Amino acid sequence: MLAALDDLDVLFCPNANVPPLGSNAHQTVVMIHHVGTEHGHSSIQRAYRRIAIPSGVQYADKVVTVSEFSKKKIVEELQIDESNVHVIYNGVDDIFFNDVKETNIDLPDDFILFVGSTDERKNLSRLLAAYKQLNSDIELVVVGAQNGIAFGKEQVDRSEIINLGYVSERELRYIYEQATLLAYPSLYEGFGLPPVEAAACGTPVLTSNVSAIPEIMGEAAEYVDPLDVTSIRNGLDIIHDPERLTELSRKGKKQAKKYTWEKATKRLMKVFNQSTR
């Protein structure tokens, strides 16, 4: 209704939130980041995604997603023509490529960093179990929102970690830069921004060998099996390998440059323009 009144050419729905009204007056493009509703999220989020995503695809003319992995899953699970699904990789904000001034956050000299919500698919529980097996005095610092209603709540003992909670983007940039290693053993990602953000800052990345992450990070990460605590623990041993850390830092900076919002915007505009022809 509103789209028709505003005489739109393209209606863009960035979160699978397509109005259940078909229209010949305009084209509808929907963004779907992933279809892994069984992986994490709160019960409210899972219910919403199970309803919204299939409905959004039904009323959309084109679908945009953030990786070839997600495209494959969308085509398989929603049974739509792959020619209607367009991959546009996420971008990394410019601040992660630039230096920032020191913040007031008190950080240890050496630490492993985890960035993520309380969503169980972020897999903090297994990372913590692996960390406890390390033969090292290195600290584990956790950054991320802890809204259980939005993300679900993974039950973990945080008594042995430094829990910073939510931080600003500028503070996050500084924390990435100071970290010895980002550990991100997520169980499922349609893209996975924290590994790319860390890589842009020159921080070595340890992450999962599943879902979209290997596609996004290429050779610029140390990979582990996120379901295997021993695999994660063995991966964390690269903190004792300065040559490997330096190699990952170098490769990470190069890999992160592939993902900018300028590139994403140009690709999205191309899809919009194709929709109006």
Same domain, 47 and 138: no
Same domain, 125 and 186: yes
DSSP bridge partners of 112: 140, 181
Is the pLDDT at 86 greater than 80, yes or no? yes
Same domain, 75 and 118: no
Is the pLDDT at 244 greater than 90, yes or no? yes
Nearest 5°: phi and psi at 12?
A: -105, 125
Is the pLDDT at 1 greater than 50, yes or no? no
Same domain, 39 and 19: yes
Same domain, 210 and 109: yes
Q: What is the pTM of this model?
A: 0.89
> What are the distances in angstroms from CA 18 to CA 31, 203, 271?
9, 38, 17
pLDDT of residue 54: 77
pLDDT of residue 39: 53
Same domain, 179 and 196: yes
Sorting pLDDT into bands at 50, 70 and 90, what band is 276? confident
Q: Per residue in 125-167, pLDDT tens?
A: 999 999 999 989 999 999 998 765 445 556 677 778 999 999 9
Mean pLDDT, range 38-51, rounded to an integer: 60
Domain count, the chain: 2
Same domain, 126 and 32: no
Closest CA to 6 of 212, 15, 199, 19: 19
Same domain, 102 and 213: yes
Q: Per residue in 169-225, pLDDT tens?
A: 999 999 999 999 999 999 999 999 999 999 999 999 999 999 999 999 999 999 999
Buried b (16+ CB within 10 A) or exposed e, 98-112: eebeebeeebeeebb
Same domain, 244 and 170: yes
CA distance 100 to 257: 18
Same domain, 106 and 233: yes
Same domain, 163 and 231: yes
DSSP H or E stretch at residue 189? none
Same domain, 119 and 234: yes
Q: Are 97 and 256 in contact (CB under 8 A)?
A: yes
Name the residue range of residue 237's domain: 94-256
**DSSP string computed for 50-75:** HHHHHHHHHH-SEEEES-HHHHHHHH
Read off the CATH number of the domain in which 267 is found.
3.40.50.2000
Question: Rounded to 10 degrees, what is the CA torsion of 117, 118, 121, 123?
Answer: 100
Sorting pLDDT into bands at 50, 70 and 90, what band is 5? very low
Q: What's the mean per-residue pLDDT of the chain?
A: 88
